[in-house]
Each structure stands twice: as C-alpha cells, then as structure tokens.
Amino acid sequence: MNVNGASSKIGAILVMVVMSSSPIRAYAQTGVDSRDGATVQRAAYSTSRLQNRPDSAVTRDVRDALRRTPSVDASGIRVRARLGVVTLTGWVPERRQIGLAGNAARSVRGVRSVSNQLVLRNSR
C-alpha cells in the first residue's frame, strides 16, 4: 500500500471515530397546524436527557414548571404526558405566553417532545 492510500484510510477512520463519539441531538421544530393555527413544538434533547419517567411525574413537574414561570398565566393550561410526549392544551391571555409555556415544558426532565396546542384567548 502506498502512503497516500494509508493516509486516506486513516483519515476515514478518524472521521468515523469522531462521528460515533459525538452526542446525537434533535433540534426544536415549530410549525403551525393549518386546521386551527395551533403551534406544535418538539423538544430539543440529547440522548443523555432521555429518561424513562412515569407519565404522572412528568405531568406534575410540567405543571409545577408552568406555575413557576414568570409571566405565564397557567390557569387555562391543561397538561397531558404520554411516554415523554407532553401536550399542552387550553388558552393563555397573551401570545408570548404560548412560547414561554412550551419552553417551560421542554425544560422538564423526561420530556421528549412538546405538542403546544395553546391558543390565545381574546379578552373582551
């Protein structure tokens, strides 16, 4: 084998080692459901955050996180968790609270993704 062939193989091996040792990450995705305008958010997570927790514990912790989040009125928010997938339904009085609530839910240990279906409630 010549020197160029050996250095190419070594380079390829180094690339494979680096790629296999880096953590796998998924990044947040936000979209609008065309049927009702609900915002759907999926959590950003790394493999180290994926922990199996009971749905009841995740639900409780998300509710607590929402209550502790400044500037979020959680009185109209309902929380459901199933296998780490959290669904937020209900209403908030200000548009920016939709994103704040989604961020609070994503911060909870064991949350794999968030379906943020909160809507803006118009005060009259």
Please tell me the pTM assigned to this model: 0.61
What does the chain come to in residues? 124
Answer yes or no: is pLDDT of 95 > 50. yes
> pLDDT at position 38, please?
56
Rounded to 10 deg, the angle between the 55-68 and 96-106 helix axes is: 140
Does residue 4 sit in helix, strand or coil? Answer: helix
- Residue 20 confidence class, pLDDT cut points 50, 70, 90: low
Q: How far apart are CA 84 and CA 111, in angstroms?
A: 5
Answer yes or no: is pLDDT of 83 > 90. yes
Domain spans, the chain: 24-120
> pLDDT at position 9, please?
74
